[in-house]
Amino acid sequence: MKKVISIFILGLSLSLAAESHKHSEHREHEAHVHGGATLNIAFDQLKGKIEFKGAADGVIGFEHAAKSDQDKKTVADAILKFETNISTMVVFDTTLGCVVSKELVEIQAEDHADHKDEKKSNKHKGQHSDFIANFNVVCAKSVLGSKITFDFTPFKRINDLDVTILVDAVQKTTEVKKKPVTLEIK
């Protein structure tokens, strides 16, 4: 009898612990703004990095998983357009001799299903997705003191781009709306 009670108590404790763990699981959602995007640029001497992140809708035109051939083609075209246009969207001074190369371009689906039932029904899962693109930059001369122009007009659905730049001790931000913006790195 004692054994049965012990097993029962152990079972109950484990079930309570599991329940408590379930309640304490980490839940949070990152903000997702349609039409918005962030662009971070950091440089260590002559080597730099460009990181773009924005609602996939701004680059591709939709955020659902591409299943049809048409959707898959749209995604592939948008990715190619972004990759080939990066040097005209982030324009370094030509005298610096900067070369931009792709590191990563991907579409990241956001899991918005945080409720048990929602997860089961899969109703709200993957409602939003982000377009992420990282590029490496190598310049022949330091970008300090030069100007960088941001022109994201090829993507009409990106209406508000927040740019942050880190070069040596320089920390700058700017906001790019519909028109190209030039920022001096000093």
Partner 1 sequence: MIYLKLALKSLRNRIFSSALTVISIALSVMLLLAVERTKRASEEGFTQSVSQADLLVGARTGPLNLILYTVFNMGSASNNISMQTYEDIQKNPAVEWTIPYSLGDGHKGFRVVATDENFYQHYRFRGDQKVEFLSGKPALDIWDVVVGSEVQKKLNYNLNDSIVIAHGVTRGEGIQLHDDKPFKISGILKPTGTAIDQTVYISLLGMEAIHIDWKNGSQPTKENSTPQDQMTKESIKIGQITSFFLRTKSRIQTLKLQRDINNYSEEPLMAIIPGATLSDLWRGLSNIETVLKIISFMVMIVGLFSMLSTILAGLNERRREMSILRSIGAGPLQLCLLLVFESAFLTFIGLMIGLLIELAAFFILSGWLESQFGFYVTGDSVTKTEILYLLLVFIFGILIGFIPAYRASRLALKDGLSARI
Q: Which residues contact 150 (CB under 8 A, 6 or more apart)?
A: 39, 89, 90, 91, 161, 163, 174, 176, 180, 181, 182, 183
Contacting residue, 28, 116, 117, 120, with partner 1 by CB under 8 A: 28
Check residue 168 for interaction with partner 1 (CB under 8 A).
yes
- Stretch of 3-11, 90-98, 150-158, 169-177 contacting partner 1, by CB under 8 A: 169-177
Q: Using CB under 8 A, which of 46, 96, 109, 166 touches partner 1?
A: 166
| DSSP letter string, 111-123 | ----SHHHHHHTS
Binding residues for partner 1 restricted to 86-115, rule: CB under 8 A: none
Task: Assess 132 for contact with partner 1 (CB under 8 A).
Answer: no
CA distance 163 to 174: 5
Region near partner 1 per CB under 8 A, out of 11-19, 48-56, 70-78, 143-151: 48-56
Of residues 1, 116, 169, 179, which one binds partner 1 by CB under 8 A? Answer: 169
Residues contacting residue 94 through CB under 8 Å, at least 6 positions apart: none
* Binding region for partner 1 (CB under 8 A): 26, 28, 40, 42-44, 47-49, 51, 164-173, 175, 186
